[in-house]
Structure 1
Amino acid sequence: MACSLLPLHAPLSSRPAPRTLPVFPRGTRVLRHRPPPPLLPPPRALPDIAAGAASGIRDALADAFLASPPTWRSAAASNFAVFVAGSPVLLSGLSASGFAAAYLLGTLTWRAFGPPGFLLVVAYFVVGTAVTKLKIKQKEAQGVAEKRGGRRGPGSVIGSSAAGCACALLSIYHVGGTAFSELWRLGFVASFCTKLSDTVSSEIGKAFGRTTYLVTTFKVVPRGTEGAVSIEGTLAGILASVFLASVGYLLGQVGVSQVAVCLVASQIANYGESYIGATLQDKEGFEWLNNDIVNVLNISIGAILAVLMQKLLVSWSS
C-alpha cells in the first residue's frame, strides 16, 4: 500500500518551461550579423592606380613604337594605337570593312619597314582620300564618282596594296637575302607611287579635265571612260608620283636615283593600266576584269619595273 502513495507524475514545478520568442518593444530594430564589407583601397590610392595603369600602357606603346627591328606584336600594337587615334580620319575615307583591311595592311607594313614605311602609306592615304573627295558632288552628278561617297572598301584597299604587301612579305622573310632587301623596299615604294599617280590623275581628270582622250586612239571621250586620259590629270599624276617618291627619300626608304626609278616605273605602269582599261575592261569575255584587278596589275607592273630598272642600273654601274 505504501507504493500507492508514490506520485504517478513528476511535480509540475519540475516540468521545463515552454519556449517563447523574445518580446521587443514596438519599433525596436533587431540587429543581425552581416559580413564585413570588402576591403577597398583608400580613396587616395585610386588615382595612383589609374596613373600607374596609364603609365604602364604608355611605356608599352613606347616600347612597341621604338622596337627595332619591329616584331609582329610591336607592329600590331603600334598600328592599333594609330588606328584608334586616327579613326575619325580613317573612317572618312574607308568603309568599316575597308578599315579592317587597312589595319592588316598597316600591321604588315610596320612589321616589314617600320614607322618610315608606315608613314609613307599614311601620306598615300591622305593625298588619295583628299583628291577622291575633291568636287565629289560634281563627280556624283556626272556618274563618275567613287561609290560610298569616296569611301574605299576592302577590294579597293587590297587592289591598291597587293604588290606592296607582297614586297613586305618578301622583305620580312628575307627572300633573296640582304642583296634583295633594298629591292623589296624599292618595289614597295614604287607600287604606292604608281597607285597614287593613278588615283590622282584619274580624280583630277574627272574634276578638272577639260578634254579626255582614249589612250589607244586619242579620240575625245567622256570623262570617266575606262582608258581615258587628260592633260590635267596626267600632269597631276606625275607630280603625285614625284611627291610620294620624295617622301620615301626623306624617310630613308629610297635613294635619290631611286626617286627617278619610281617616277618612270609608275608612269609606264599607268599607261599600261590605261591601255588594259581601254582594250579589255568591260569587253565581252573579260567581265571578271574589274577595277580592283586592274589596280593589282597596275601596281604590280610598277613594282616589278622598278626592281628590274634598279638591277639594270646597278649592273651598268658596276
Structure 2
Amino acid sequence: MQMQIKFLVLAVFLLTGMALSVYFKKLTVVAALNGVLCALLVYAGAGFTGIALMTTFFITGTLATSWKVDLKRSLKVAEENKGQRKTSQVLANAGVAAIAGLMSLIFETGQTLWPVLIAAAFSAATADTLASELGTVYGKRFCNILTFKPDLRGLDGVISIEGTLIGLMGSALIAYIYAIGFSFNTSFIIVVISGTMGNLTDSFLGAWLERKGIIKNDAVNFLNTLFAAASAALMWYL
C-alpha cells in the first residue's frame, strides 16, 4: 500500500508539472513527455530526492532564463522562443541523469553510486545554466576560457568571475538537496566539485568546438553533464 501511495504521489506530481510546463510554454508537449520519462528513470536511481534535484534544476533554470530578459534581448543573448525548451534540450540536460537511473535498474551493485552521479549531472547542468544566464547580467569583466583574453559577453566559452561564482552556488544548492535526501558526507563535496568541473568543461567545449561549428549547444550540455558524472564516479571510487 505504501508503495502504491508513493507511485500515486509521483504520478500526480509529474503530470501536474508536465501540464504546467506546457501551459506556461516552458516546454513543448514532446519535451514535457520526454521530461517525464527522464524523471521516472531519475526516480528509479535516486527516489524522491532525485525528483527534487531535477525539479530544482528546472525551476532555477527557468527563473534564471526569465531574469532581466529585456536586458538579455538588448545584448542579443536571450534564449530563443522565449526560453521554451525542446526535446533535445531536455535530453541534453537530464539525459545523463536518466541514464544513471537506468543503470541502477540494470545493475544490482553500486546502488549508493547512482544517486551521486545523478546529483553530479544536475549540479553541472544547474551551474552551467545559472552561470550563463546570470553571469551575463552581473558579470563585470569577460574573458575567453582558453586564452583568458577579454572577450564579448554571451559568446561561447566566455566566462566571468561573477558567473563562475554563481555557477558554484548552483552546484552547492544541488549538493545540499542531495545531502538532505541522503547524508552530509564526502559526497556533498564530490557533487559540488564535479558540478563546477562540468560547468567549466561546458565553457571549454564552447570556446574550442562550438565556436567552430563542430558541435552544437545541446551536445556541449550533454558532454558537460557526462563529464561531471564521470568525475564524480572517479572521486567516489578514490
User: What residue in structure 2 maps to residue 211 of structure 1?
Assistant: 141
Query: What letter is aligned with 1:90?
Result: S
1:90 paired to 2:36: no
Offset at 1:110? 2.2
In structure 1, what is the Cα distance between the partners aligned to 2:43 and 2:5? Answer: 10
Partner Cα separation in structure 1 for residue 188 and residue 115 of structure 2? 12
Q: Shift of residue 281 of structure 1?
A: 1.2
Whether 1:232 aligns to 2:162 is: yes
- Give the alignment partner of residue 139 of structure 1, picking from 72, 89, 93: 72
Matched, 1:64 2:4: yes
TM-score, length-normalised on structure 2?
0.92
1:25-64 mapped onto 2 (5 Å cutoff): 64=4
Match of 1:274 among 182, 203, 214: 203
How high is the sequence identity, in percent, across the aligned residues?
27
> Separation in 2 of the partners of 1:65 and 1:297?
36
- 1:222: Cα distance to partner? 1.4
RMSD: 1.9
Question: Is the alpha carbon distance of 1:63 and 1:310 closer, same or farther for their aligned partners in structure 2, counting shifts above 3 Å?
Answer: closer
Alpha-carbon displacement from aligned partner over 1:91-116 (angstroms, at most 9, x marks no partner) = 33222222121111122222333222
Give 1 or 2: higher helix fraction: 2
1:272 Cα deviation from its structure 2 partner? 1.9
| Equivalent residue letter for 1:300 | L
Based on CA coordinates, which of the two structures has the bigger radius of gyration?
Answer: 1
Query: What amino acid is the match of 1:64?
Result: Q
By how many angstroms is 1:87 displaced? 4.5
Indicate which of 162, 181, 189 corresponds to 1:251.
181
Asked if the contact 2:42/2:100 (under 8 Å) is kept, the reply is no
Per-residue Cα deviation, 1:23-72 (whole angstroms, up to 9, x for no partner) = xxxxxxxxxxxxxxxxxxxxxxxxxxxxxxxxxxxxx9x75343xxxxxx
Runs of at least 5 residues in structure 2 that lack an aligned partner in the other structure: none
Listed one character per residue, the Cα deviations across residues 183-220 of structure 1 (whole Å, up to 9, x for unaligned) are 12211110100110111101111222222110011111
Displacement, 1:245? 0.5
| Aligned mates of 1:255, 1:144 — CA distance in 2 | 38
The partner residue of 1:191 within 91, 104, 121 is 121
Q: Which residue of structure 2 aligns with residue 160 of structure 1?
A: 93
Q: Aligned partners of 2:125 and 2:18: how far apart in 1? A: 23
Match of 1:301?
227
Residue 106 of structure 1 pairs with residue 36 of structure 2:
no
Instruction: Please give the alpha-carbon distance, in whole angstroms, between the structure 1 residues aligned to 2:154 and 2:72.
Output: 9
Partner of 1:54: none
User: Within 2, Cα distance between the matches of 1:141 and 1:88?
Assistant: 31
2:146 alignment partner, SS class: coil
Note if contact 2:49-2:177 (Cα within 8 Å) is conserved in structure 1.
Answer: no
Name stretches of at least 5 consecutive residues in structure 1 with no aligned partner.
1-59, 67-73, 313-318
- 2:159 partner SS: strand
Contact 1:83 1:90 survives alignment (8 Å): no
Distance 1:138 1:95, change over 3 A: farther
Preserved contact between residue 79 and residue 103 of structure 1 (Cα < 8 Å): no
The number of residue pairs the alignment matches comes to 236
Residues 245-280 of structure 1 deviation map (CA, whole Å, 9 limit, x = unaligned): 00111112x542111111111222222221111111
Distance in 1, Cα, partners of 2:17 & 2:98? 22
The residue type equivalent to 2:209 in the other structure is L
Paired with 1:109 and 1:65, the residues of 2 have a C-alpha distance of 18
In 1, Cα distance between equivalents of 2:233 and 2:184 = 13
Q: CA deviation at 1:83?
A: 3.4
CA distance in 2, matches of 1:242, 1:263: 5
Amino acid at match of 2:14: F
Instruction: Using CA pairs under 8 Å that are at least 6 residues apart, name the structure with larger relative contact order, 1 or 2.
Output: 2
Q: Which deviations, in whole Å up to 9, do the C-alpha atoms of 1:8-36 show, x marking residues without a partner?
A: xxxxxxxxxxxxxxxxxxxxxxxxxxxxx
Among residues 45, 63, 73, which one is paired with 1:130 in the alignment? 63
